[in-house]
């Protein structure tokens, strides 16, 4: 496979395929540079003084780590001046960030979970950044952060691009602009992303599942049945043995599935019912669902396709079942009985 840079890949998507325009290309390049800066900060670890608690809570009431706040700032600062965005929304911010008047406004909305897998930051386990791009509706009211929220309330099927970066042994950027899924590895010496994966495909069948088993007793009955069937292995109705992998960073767990197949689940549970689930629809579920579907997989809540949910608020949460198509279909069918 030819070794192309991210810039080269994006130019081809724009110039030859007409899949993206120059603004979207610029947006993705800016996000990639921000992710590179986040990767550097993470790589310094304790030496950079960036580990530990920030001493604040986010809008979801979760304690923020210093790196959550730093990553959020890096993405905001990198993206607000370029003229490609109308507004940004983040898991770490109560309200959308509108573009200051001193900068031109663009046609896109950027949403992100700046640092996914916060509980793994201080223990040197893979974490990531997840992002999603929407078109800003014509005539949207962006006069205040409160008013701007309405522009974001679009189903995941409207995403024009989505991606994630995994900060693991290597820093990897996985991207879709609606034309399949490609991946890039950060070249630390040269300082840029180089393509290392193309037309990524998730095998339809799998025998690997990923779920926080500690929550088992809180799940709904269909999920209890599905996971018990997998645990019964060859002796049960599924007729094969399964293995389990759980990192606890969605980005790392889903990346494993994009790479070699599997099923990732953060199902509805009775502890989370009032909140609507654990994972955030617009910063986590939607971008990951777009990537998984573009790679031939499937993504549902057990009851509906994630990408078809029309959000009522930007911080909305949902149950998540995603990965190898036949296994996601099986789990979803069990919810519909």
The verdict on 249 binding ligand AHM (CB under 6 A) reads yes
Binding segment toward Mg ion, per CB under 5 A, in 5-13, 72-80, 109-117, 160-168: 109-117
Considering only 57, 62, 304, 308, the residue that binds ligand AHM (CB under 6 A) is 62
Residue 325: HSE in the Cβ half-sphere, 13 Å Cα cutoff: 10
Minimum CB distance to Mg ion smaller for 113 or for 327: 113
Q: Which residues pair with 88 in a beta bridge?
A: 97, 110
190 half-sphere exposure, CB direction, 13 A CA radius: 8
Three-state DSSP at 141 gives coil
Number of residues forming the site for ligand AHM (CB under 6 A): 12
Sheet of strand 192-197: strand arrangement: 97-98, 85-90, 108-116, 127-135, 161-167, 171-176, 182-187, 192-197
Q: Which stretch binds ligand AHM (CB under 6 A): 14-22, 82-90, 102-110, 114-122?
A: 114-122
Q: How many CB atoms lie within 10 A of CB 135?
A: 16
Query: According to the binding rule CB under 6 A, does residue 250 interact with ligand AHM?
Result: yes
Sign, Cα dihedral of 129, 130, 133, 136: negative
269 binds ligand AHM (CB under 6 A): no
CB of 116 to Mg ion, least distance (A): 3
Report the residue from 77, 119, 124, 270 that binds ligand AHM according to the rule CB under 6 A.
119
Gap between the Cα atoms of 97 and 123, Å rounded: 31
Q: Which of 45, 180, 248, 296 binds ligand AHM (CB under 6 A)?
A: 248
Enumerate residues 207-236 that contact ligand AHM by CB under 6 A: 212
The only residue of 117, 262, 297, 302 in contact with ligand AHM, by rule CB under 6 A: 117
Q: Supply the minimum distance, in Å, between the C-beta of residue 26 and ligand AHM.
A: 27
Binding test (CB under 5 A) with Mg ion, winner from 80, 92, 107, 116:
116
What is the arrangement of strands in the sheet containing 320-323, beginning at the earlier edge strand? 243-244, 208-210, 263-266, 320-323, 298-300
Q: Is 77 in the site for ligand AHM (CB under 6 A)?
A: no
- Pairing mode of beta strands 85-90, 108-116: parallel
Q: Does 243 bind ligand AHM (CB under 6 A)?
A: no
Question: Residue 31, interface with ligand AHM (CB under 6 A)?
Answer: no
With binding defined as CB under 5 A, does residue 113 bind Mg ion? yes
CA atoms within 13 A on the CB side of 113: 29
Which positions lie near ligand AHM, rule CB under 6 A?
Answer: 62, 91, 113, 116-119, 212, 248-250, 266
Which positions lie near Mg ion, rule CB under 5 A?
Answer: 113, 116
């Amino acid at each position: 496979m030819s070794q192309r840079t991210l810039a080269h890949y994006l130019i081809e998507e724009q110039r030859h395929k007409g899949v993206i325009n120059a603004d979207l290309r610029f947006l993705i390049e800016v996000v990639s540079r921000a992710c590179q800066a986040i990767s550097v900060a993470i790589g310094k670890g304790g030496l950079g003084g960036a580990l530990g608690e920030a001493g604040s809570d986010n809008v979801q009431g979760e304690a923020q780590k210093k790196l959550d706040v730093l990553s959020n700032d890096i993405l905001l600062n990198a993206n607000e001046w370029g003229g490609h965005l109308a507004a940004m929304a983040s898991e770490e911010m109560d309200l959308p960030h509108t573009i200051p008047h001193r900068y031109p406004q663009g046609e896109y909305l950027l949403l992100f979970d700046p640092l996914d897998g916060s509980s793994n930051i201080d223990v040197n386990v893979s974490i990531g950044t997840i992002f999603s791009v929407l078109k800003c509706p014509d005539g949207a009211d962006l006069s205040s952060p409160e008013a701007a929220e309405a522009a974001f309330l679009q189903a995941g099927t409207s995403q024009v691009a989505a991606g994630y970066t995994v900060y693991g042994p290597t820093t990897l950027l996985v991207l879709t602009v609606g034309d399949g899924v490609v991946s890039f590895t950060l070249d630390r010496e040269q300082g840029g992303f180089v393509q290392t994966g193309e037309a990524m495909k998730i095998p339809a069948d799998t025998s690997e599942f990923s779920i926080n088993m500690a929550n088992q007793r809180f799940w709904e009955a269909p999920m209890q049945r599905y996971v018990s069937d997998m645990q019964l292995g060859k002796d049960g109705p599924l007729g094969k043995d399964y293995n389990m992998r759980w990192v606890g960073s969605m980005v790392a767990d889903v990346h494993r599935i994009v790479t070699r197949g599997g099923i990732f689940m953060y199902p509805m549970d009775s502890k989370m019912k009032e909140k609507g689930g654990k994972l955030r629809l617009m910063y986590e579920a939607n971008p990951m669902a777009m990537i998984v579907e573009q790679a031939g997989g499937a993504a549902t809540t057990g009851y509906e396709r994630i990408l078809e949910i029309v959000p009522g608020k930007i911080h909305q949460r949902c149950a998540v079942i995603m990965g190898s198509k036949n296994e996601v279909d099986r789990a979803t069918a069990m919810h519909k009985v």
